[in-house]
Amino acid sequence: METTFKKLIKEKIPERIIITGCGTSWHAGLIGKYIIEDILKIPVEVEYASELRYRKPVLNKKTILIAISQSGETADTIGVIRELKGKCKIYSICNVEKSTIARESDFVLFTQAGPEIGVASTKSFTSQILILYLFSLSFLFKKGELKKEIFYKRCYEVLKVKEKMESFFQKNNIEEIADILINKTNALYLGKGINFPVALEGALKLKEVSYIHAEGYPSAEMKHGPIALIDENMPVIFICMEDRHLKKVISNMEEVKTRKGYIISICDFISDEIKRLSNKILSVPHIENEYLKPLLSSLPLQLLAYYVAKKKGLDVDKPRNLAKSVTVE
């Protein structure tokens, strides 16, 4: 990994980035947009591979494409790479070393998450986020805007996340919350800023393995439609982390509470307000660095989907109609 990042800082700093992928990898790309634009101040667009491959994006040599894929064999993502090859530099973030995407890219950042057996993408999601963060730090360092000591400090924080994840696995109340969801037919996942794509990913996980219809939305966007769905039968899962958006998210929780929605809060900070508004709280370890928060907030969402599916007697590793890699269009 260290050598890859040493090689990366020899690369030219791009002026514009297009990120592409499908499903969970696309969600990681959305998180990457927040991180890269915030840290590097480089404009980032995130595109579904299945759409981008049939468009004619405006590109130049200062644009790079980052294709994200766990398997490295997703047909639509390969389609984009083949379409754009030679028109801009192709980077990929990939988990499988001997894969088509790794082979056909100009530069590969391997997630090294280990083989993923279950169809639902889990550890590769968190690893993709981590790589996007390290990508941003590496280029910031290259730009001369990050001192070596701070770079090392940031890397140390990343190592700390592992301990926090382990402590979360040892103690949590997810099974109790899964019991609430098993008889539901719908769920709404809401988050703001970097937590919006986390909400999308939480909803995808629940749909995929437990067959409960779930939607992810930016929390403030709820009042432009989904609010009509809210009543005492609608579980609303808020990703409510201590960050610059907390106040706004709490006001969205108030709106749901007023309509008698059943609020499950995933938070790394519990205030009296959050206690008053939430029917259930799922607390995750706190980390100061906001770019690393999705690594912690996505864990309970993955586990929640897992327990709901297990309690419904479903095969968590092999959900119906899905394949581990989608090699057809």
Q: Closer CB to ligand M6R, residue 119 or residue 234? A: 119
Does 252 engage in binding with ligand M6R (CB under 6 A)? no
Distance of CA 100 to the CA centre of its chain: 23
Residue of 69, 92, 105, 252 that binds ligand M6R (CB under 6 A): 69
Q: How many angstroms separate the CA atoms of 293 and 290, rounded?
A: 5
N- to C-terminal Cα separation, the chain? 32
Q: Does 121 bind ligand M6R (CB under 6 A)?
A: yes
Check residue 326 for interaction with ligand M6R (CB under 6 A).
yes
Determine which residue in the list 18, 19, 20, 24 makes contact with ligand M6R, applying CB under 6 A. Answer: 24
At 281, is the secondary structure helix, strand, or coil?
strand
Residue that is written with structure tokens 């103690």 in the block: 171
- Stretch of 56-64, 68-76, 291-299, 301-309 lying at the interface with ligand M6R (CB under 6 A): 68-76
If one asks whether residue 100 binds ligand M6R (CB under 6 A), the answer comes out as no
The DSSP bridge partners found for residue 93 are 68, 109
**Cβ-based burial of 194 (10 A; exposed 0-12, middle 13-18, buried ≥19):** buried
For ligand M6R, the nearest residue by Cβ is: 23
Nearer to ligand M6R, 164 or 324 (CB): 324
Rule CB under 6 A: say whether 74 interacts with ligand M6R: yes
Q: Are 202 and 304 in contact (CB under 8 A)?
A: yes
| Cβ count near 60 (within 10 Å) | 9
From 64-72, 84-92, 286-294, 308-316, give the range in contact with ligand M6R by CB under 6 A: 64-72
70 versus 138: smaller Cβ distance to ligand M6R = 70
Residue 120 contacts ligand M6R per CB under 6 A? yes
DSSP characters over 85-105: BTTBEEEEEES-TTSHHHHHS
Find residue 45's DSSP bridge partners. 18
CA distance 153 to 276: 37
DSSP secondary structure code for residue 112 in this structure: -
Distance in Å, CB of 99 to ligand M6R, minimum: 9
Provide the 3-class DSSP secondary structure of residue 6: helix
Of positions 20, 50, 63, 77, contacts ligand M6R by CB under 6 A: 77
Should residue 299 be labelled a site residue for ligand M6R when binding is judged by CB under 6 A?
no
Stretch that binds ligand M6R, among 12-20, 115-123, 157-165, 286-294 (CB under 6 A): 115-123
Q: Is 32 a binder of ligand M6R (CB under 6 A)?
A: no
Q: Is 25 among the residues that bind ligand M6R (CB under 6 A)?
A: yes
Count CB neighbours of 74 within 10 A: 26
Handedness of CA 252, 253, 257, 263 (dihedral sign): positive
Answer yes or no whether residue 22 interacts with ligand M6R by CB under 6 A: yes
For residue 318, the 8-state DSSP code is S
Residues 191-220, one symbol each (x = binds ligand M6R by CB under 6 A, - = not), give: -------------x---x------------
Among 14, 17, 19, 23, binds ligand M6R (CB under 6 A): 23
Size of residue set near ligand M6R by CB under 6 A: 17
Ordered strands of the 107-110 beta sheet: 44-48, 16-21, 63-69, 89-94, 107-110
Binding residue (CB under 6 A) for ligand M6R from 20, 50, 63, 71:
71
> What value does the CA radius of gyration of the chain take, rounded to a whole number of Å?
20
Query: Contact positions toward ligand M6R, by CB under 6 A?
Result: 22-25, 69-71, 74, 77, 119-121, 204, 208, 322, 325-326
